[in-house]
Chain A
Amino acid sequence: MSRLRGIPRHFRFPWRSVREVHRQVDEELQFHFDCRIEELLESGCSREEAEQITHGEFGDLKETQRSLKALGRRHEAQLRRQIMFSEFFRDIRYAWRSLMRSPGFTAVAVLVLALGIGAGSTIFSLVNMVVMRPIQIEDPDKLVGVYSQSLERPDRYRSFSYPTYVDLRQQNDFFEELAAYEISTVGLKQGDTTRRVMAGLVSANYFRTFGIPPALGRAFTVEEETAPHADVAVVSHDYWIARGGDRDILGSNLTVNGRTVTVVGVAKEGFSGSSALFSPVVWLPLGLYSIADSLTGPMDGAGLTDRDNHALMLFGRLAAEFDEASAAPRLAAIAGRLESEYAAQKDQTFITSPLPRLSVSNAPDNESYLLAPVLLLLAMAGVVLLIACLNLANMFLARGAGRRTELAIRLSLGGGRLRLVRQMLSEGLVLSLLGGAAGLVMAFYGTRILLGSINNLLPLGMDVALKATPDWRVLLATLVFCLMATLFSGLGPAWKLSGANVISGLKENAGQGLSGGGKNRRWSPRNLMVLAQIALSMMLLCAGGLFVRGAWIAADANPGFSLRDSVLVELDTSLVGYDESRGREVYRSVLERLRGIPSVESAALSSIVPFGSVTRTRRVRPAGAYDDESAVRSHFYVVTDDYFESLRLKMLQGRGFTASESISDGGTPIAIISEPLAEQLWPGESPIGKLVQLVGSDSEPPPPLEIVGMAPGIRHQLSDQQPASHLYVPFGQNFAPNMHVHLRLDEAAGGGGTAEAAVMQTVRKELRALDPILPLLTLKSYSEFRDQSVFLWLFSSVARIFTGLGLVALFLALVGVYGVKAFMVTSRTREIGLRLALGATPAEILKELVRENLGTTLAALFLGSLLALGAARVADHLIYESQRGVIPILLGAAFVLTLASTLAAYLPARRATRIEPTVALRQN
């Protein structure tokens, strides 16, 4: 305002308070009134007249005051924001320059933060992918699952039959759309080979109900929902892209379970039905039900329109004026009507529940079990971030101690304390943002690697619906981590450093306050922070160790049968469209050919296998007891005669199946029972000769099975801690198109991995010669099969995540130890030099420094053990046999940490012993 020369200026703060703004408005207007009245008085008016004229000329004073004050307030606020922004950017620029002057410090700090924030971002990306990222559904809040619940046993649910679905669809007025589907697997022929893929059998309005129409082509028509020759399909976007992403796919042919169907549509990118985890590869209309084998069990020839065939899962989009609560009584009323009309609907009512994110099931699922692991993972990531922050705080303190003179000068020159704190926090922010950017890259590749490892393992040809691409949630979370890191690591040191005594700071080295002089050296804030870091990384290492050990134990525990020298082959005759008689023919030839391989001792069939990713269960009860309450859920195996021999299982009582029973139908239905199941059904009695009844949802129960033998119990899942219940029925009386061939190799043939590999090659050749189009779904040695089970994958992935976090934590703690010791040695150069001059030997000095560190480390390890034990208790139900092996893991982790920490302290300590006394004394 150079133009205001001659007018005395008043000091003006960069911004004004609200009261000041108001006062100035009043003062300005008062001045106007005073001057005008004075002018009028001079021209001869009376005071009264003058006031009246002035007011008249002015207009509405009150309103003007109000609006000017409001305007002033807004103006001030804007000004304030501008000033703050420009100061913020100045701080950032200054921080950047200051950091660039010490590139070593900056590089280490960014690395530390990248690891800490990266760990947090990676874990958050996983959590986001699995439980947070929205599924591609239009207006998902209106979409609900519909479930058929037993009135007598409200914990029991079953699927819907197609006629019931149609009744419900037609009779309700509260669903805008009600869709039905079933998940199945089908054989999809590509060139010469057939691949087993996940398929959705869906009603015509399936895509419309989700609100996601196909990206190309069309969805299914109402005719295709029931027509038995509705030979059409919609393929997934991923499949389309994998096949070239060409528009020509519409109208092209696919071979599904040996049947030719025409592609009429391509689903929208990212559409996966209701699941966030996996997606069908192909969708077929319900009209094709009869050719698509069901996952839920043998079909028993039941057709879609059979009211007894409860095969479909339902979900609906509520009409605008309804919510779950207001629809519930109407839904129950329809269920009641159907119950009185049809025997098949007896004891059933219908309820709604939000669709689960992860599972596909005919029972409601609120997925509350996800909470514990999610919280645990996030907590662990938080701990790593905390360690990184502690570490950085230490580095700030050390750096600040080196800048004491600079800081003291700035303070004594009138730089406010807050200004210094802000400056230091700005440095922290710049570092965190750099670290956060690096952390995001880490998170992206981390989740990609993890997803890549699951892709090869998923059973049944599912497409993984998870995508590793970060979204705004991950960005936001990373930003929050950055801010947290800035505050946690910067606030403490900044406050402490800026409060440094100016005089002592100027005198330099006069006080040792920060580096921990005097008797409190061991418990200085710096050492305490190192202690906390070691303790926390101990906890993480132990948690990782427990998971790894849990995976080992689970895999190694005696399954109750022999895994050695066996090879597993999985086939499914329905994938190429074979019917039962053709299927039986194929399996007969398969067994014949494979038994002919010289090193194969025996070959047997079974429908499901221990440690497989899929199981089939049935509920069974003693026949005659007309009380379904006593029914027990049991794994349901269809096997051939030498199955037990192949697994080296000897009958405990009774006999095995005969060769004719495993081939031909007819005769009394028989079964073999496992000991744990026998114990449950007839405690303390011999089960031989007793009758067992399969409990189905069908209104007409199948004939009871006579028990001819009792086999020893074996574990079915890797996660089973006890032998499970099994019911075995002969292949002759029960056909299943999806069977596993167990090959037991001759021990005399050498055994081991090489023999298994050789046999597998022969098996492949033999099967191709037998039937070139029959897909070979699995061909693995049994131990390999077990190691690649989804359960073990899940377990080892968690173990890998925890071990990764633990190692990051360990590395960070070591950087911390090294940094503190190095700093301490530097700041005590004079003291050490003096002592050397007075005759102390370098070895003594070295020993003392290392011993000091050992003390801190041991205290940290003790604290860490307590934390680890606490974490083990919290994670008890997540870890397989967590109690076993806690102690060795604690000892192992303690050993590693002690060794590493001592090494980290030794390196700088050795430098101290090389100090030249004369140089050291002259230094200050």
Chain B
Amino acid sequence: MTERKRSSRLLQGTVDLLILKALSSAPSHGYGISKWLRERSEGTLGLEDAALYQALHRLERKGSIQSEWGQSENNRRAKFYEITPLGRRRLVDETGQWRSYAEAVFRVLGTA
């Protein structure tokens, strides 16, 4: 349960943003995204895989990403996700927003 609490601290929009970023260079399956996030953040995000998959399916429904079944590196059937043009626009927009938000927070913290 402690794991869950930690993950809920991650804002939903943040998970979406991270997934879009992960898919921005190449299509990948859920496990690949999970692994990429774990390696890039060195495990500090503490994102539950459950939340990751929920977000993936939600993003697909919203049309930010699309999926197709394909062959994985180890020759197994896997569901691959790919970012759509809409998803790319969202990634750019929200990265900008996130950045200005973070800068604002840092400015406040810096002056305190």
Contacts and interface: CB of A to CB of B under 8 A. Distances in A.
Instruction: Check if A and B associate.
Output: yes
Interface in B63-77: 66, 68-72, 74, 76-77
Interface in A507-538: none
B50 A31 contact: no
B29 A31 contact: yes
Nearest to B69: A10
Contacts of B27: 3-4, 7
Interface stretch (A62-70, A657-665, A891-899): A62-70
A12 B30 CA distance: 20
A217 interface: no
Contacts of A74: 61
Interface in B6-60: 7, 27, 29-31, 34-35, 48-51, 53-54, 57-58, 60
Contact of A68 (B57, B70, B78): B57
Given A24-B79, A29-B53, A67-B54, A7 B71 contact: yes
A59 interface: yes
B3 A59 contact: yes
A235 to B, nearest CB: 61
A75 interface: yes
Contact of B31 (A4, A32, A71): A32
Query: Which one of A31, A34, A61 has the highest number of Cβ atoms from chain B below 10 Å of its Cβ?
Result: A31
B31 A59 contact: no
B68 A32 contact: no
Contacts of A67: 54
Q: How large is the interface on A (under 10, 10 to 19, 20 to 34, 35 or more residues)?
A: 20 to 34
A31 B80 contact: no
A864 to B, nearest CB: 60
A48 interface: no
Given A31-B78, A59-B7, A67-B54, A7 B49 contact: no
Contact of A8 (B29, B51, B71): B71
Interface in A256-272: none
B4 interface: yes
B76 A71 contact: no
A58 interface: yes
A8 B69 CA distance: 8
Contacts of B49: 32, 57-59
A7 B26 CA distance: 12
A27 interface: yes
Contacts of A27: 77, 79
Nearest to B50: A59
Contacts, number: 92
Query: Which one of B48, B69, B77 has the highest number of Cβ atoms from chain A below 10 Å of its Cβ?
Result: B69
A59 B4 contact: yes
B54 A56 contact: no
A interface: dominant SS:
helix
Contacts of A56: 3
Interface in A64-84: 64, 67-68, 71-72, 74-75
Contacts of A64: 50, 53-54
Contacts of A1: 66, 68, 82
B72 A31 contact: yes
Given A8-B71, A71-B58, A71-B61, A28 B53 contact: yes
Contacts of B77: 10, 27, 31
Nearest to A68: B57
A56 B60 CA distance: 25
A35 B31 contact: yes
A28 B50 contact: no
A467 B30 CA distance: 65
Contact of B79 (A31, A36, A57, A60): A31
A28 B79 contact: yes
B28 to A, nearest CB: 11
A886 B29 CA distance: 83
Nearest to A35: B31
A3 B82 contact: yes
A20 to B, nearest CB: 11
A28 B48 contact: no
Interface in A39-60: 39, 56-60
A59 B46 CA distance: 11
B34 A32 contact: yes
A9 interface: yes
Interface string A1-23: 10110011110100000000000
A4 B30 contact: no
B109 to A, nearest CB: 31
Contacts of A3: 27, 82
Contacts of B54: 64, 67-68
A834 B96 CA distance: 85
A74 B61 CA distance: 9
A38 B29 CA distance: 16
B48 A59 contact: yes
A12 B70 CA distance: 12
A39 B30 CA distance: 15
Contact of A60 (B50, B66, B76, B78): B50
A9 B82 CA distance: 14
Contact of B50 (A4, A36, A61, A75): A61
A74 B7 CA distance: 26
A18 to B, nearest CB: 16
Contacts of A10: 68-70, 77
Nearest to A38: B74
Contacts of B50: 58-61, 63-64
A146 to B, nearest CB: 60
Contacts of A68: 53-54, 57
A63 B51 CA distance: 11
Contacts of B30: 28, 31-32
Contact of B48 (A7, A36, A39, A57): A57
Contact of B80 (A7, A29, A61): A7
Nearest to A55: B49
A38 B35 CA distance: 13
A3 B61 CA distance: 19
Interface string A359-393: 00000000000000000000000000000000000
A35 B54 CA distance: 19
A28 B70 CA distance: 11
Given A24-B79, A61-B50, A71 B70 contact: no
A266 to B, nearest CB: 56
B17 to A, nearest CB: 20
Contacts of B69: 9-10, 12, 24
B69 to A, nearest CB: 5
B70 A7 contact: yes
A4 B82 CA distance: 8
Contacts of B79: 24, 27-28, 31
A58 B53 CA distance: 9
Contacts of A36: 31, 34-35
A4 B53 contact: no
Interface string B72-95: 101011111010000000000000
Nearest to A1: B68
Contacts of A39: 35
A29 B69 CA distance: 13
Smallest CB-CB A-B distances: 7 pairs: A7-B70, A59-B50, A59-B48, A58-B49, A64-B50, A35-B31, A32-B31
Given A24-B79, A31-B77, 19 more contacts: A1-B68, A1-B82, A4-B80, A7-B80, A28-B53, A28-B79, A31-B72, A31-B78, A32-B49, A56-B3, A58-B49, A59-B3, A59-B51, A60-B50, A61-B50, A64-B54, A67-B54, A71-B61, A75-B61
28 contacts: A1-B68, A3-B27, A4-B27, A4-B70, A8-B71, A9-B68, A10-B70, A12-B68, A12-B69, A24-B69, A27-B79, A28-B29, A31-B29, A31-B31, A32-B29, A32-B31, A32-B49, A35-B31, A35-B72, A56-B3, A57-B34, A58-B48, A61-B50, A64-B50, A64-B53, A67-B54, A72-B57, A75-B57
Interface of A: 1, 3-4, 7-10, 12, 24, 27-29, 31-32, 34-36, 38-39, 56-61, 63-64, 67-68, 71-72, 74-75
